[in-house]
Amino acid sequence: MRREELADTDCGIAQALGAVGDWQSLLVVREAAAGVTRFEGFARELGLSRRALTERLGSLVEHGVLEKVPYSDRPPRHDYVLTARGEGLLPVLLALQEWGTRHVMGDGGLTGEPADGELHRVRGLVGRRVPDVELTAHDGSTVRLADPEAWTVLFFFPGAYAPGSAGYPPRWDEVPGTRGCTLECVTYGRRHDALAAAGARVLGVSTQHPQQQAAFAAHAGLPYLLASDQDGLAASALRLPVFRAGGSDRLKRVTLLVDPVGVVRGVQAPVTDPAQSVDDALADVRRLAAAPEPASEPASAPASEPAQGPA
C-alpha cells in the first residue's frame, strides 16, 4: 500500500502515519522538541543525508507539523519550528520512549526508577540549556524552567495528591520508584528558606493537572510552585525518563540544578532517598553558585551559524 493510500483511509492511526511518514521524521520532531531549528543542527544530531533530511523537513512542513520561520533574507534561510499540531505529537513520542525503554531495552516490567540508558541520557544534560517552554503552575501562572534572576532547583516527580482526592492509580505503591513524592515535596518546603538564601528558587514538575497540584500544594502548605507538564513539553524536550501508570505518562524522579542562564550544572539521578536529595541539592547550589561558570554547550546551532540546508 502506498503512503498516499494509507493516509486516505478512515483510520486515525493510518492518517497520522501518512502525515508523519516514517521513523526518521519522528526523530526530526524529537530534535525540534529539544530546541534544534536549523538544517545543519538536524543533520548533525541525526546523521541523515542532506537529501533525506530535506525530504522529511519538507513533508513535515507540508503537513503542518513544522513551520518555516525566516531568519535570513540574503541568502534566504529558515528555522524549522514545531507548530501546535507538531506539539500534539509529543505525547506520542513519550509513549514510544516509554515502550522502547520498557519492552525493547528492558524486560517489560513496570518501574518508576530510571534504567541505565535513561541515567546516561539525563546525566548528559549537564552543560546543556533547558528548553524555553512555558508550563502552567498550580496557582494558574505561567512559569519557565529557568529563572534569569536565580538558580533553579528543578525536580521532576511522578505525582503527589491531597488526601481524599482521586489520583493515585491502583497499586501505585507497588511500582518501584513511586514512593516518596510527598516526602520530597514537603522537604523542599522545609528547606525553601535555606535554598532561597543560597540564591535558588524551587520548581517541582509532574504530569498532573494543575488543579490536582493546587490541591496538594494547599494541603502541604508548599511555599514554592508546582508546574504541570501534562502535555509533555518539558519531558519531550529534555527526553526525561517516564513510565506509564493509571493510563497516564508519569515522570521518573530526576533533579536538575539550572543556573540563571538556563544551563544545567548538576543532575541528581537516580533519586533513591527523596529527603536526602533535598539536602544534597542545597549543598550543590551553595557550591555551584560560588564557583566560576564553565562554558556551556548550546542545545542547538547559534543564530550566527550559517545554515547550508534548503531555504
Domains recognised in the chain with CATH numbers: 3-87 (1.10.10.10), 108-290 (3.40.30.10)
Cα separation values, 301 from 37, 130, 212, 258, 306, Å: 8, 14, 38, 20, 9
| Terminal-residue alpha carbon distance, the chain | 32
The answer to whether 207 and 156 are in contact (CB under 8 A) is: no
Q: How confident is the model at residue 245 (pLDDT cuts 50, 70, 90)?
A: confident
CB atoms < 10 A from the CB of 88, how many? 14
Question: Per mean pLDDT, which range of 111-115, 166-170, 186-190 is the poorest?
Answer: 166-170
The model's confidence at residue 10, banded by pLDDT at 50, 70 and 90, is: confident
Q: Give the percent of the chain with pLDDT over 70.
A: 91
- Report residue 5's pLDDT band, with 50, 70 and 90 as the boundaries: low
pLDDT tier, 204 (very low <50, low <70, confident <90, very high otherwise): very high
Rounded average pLDDT over 60-73: 94
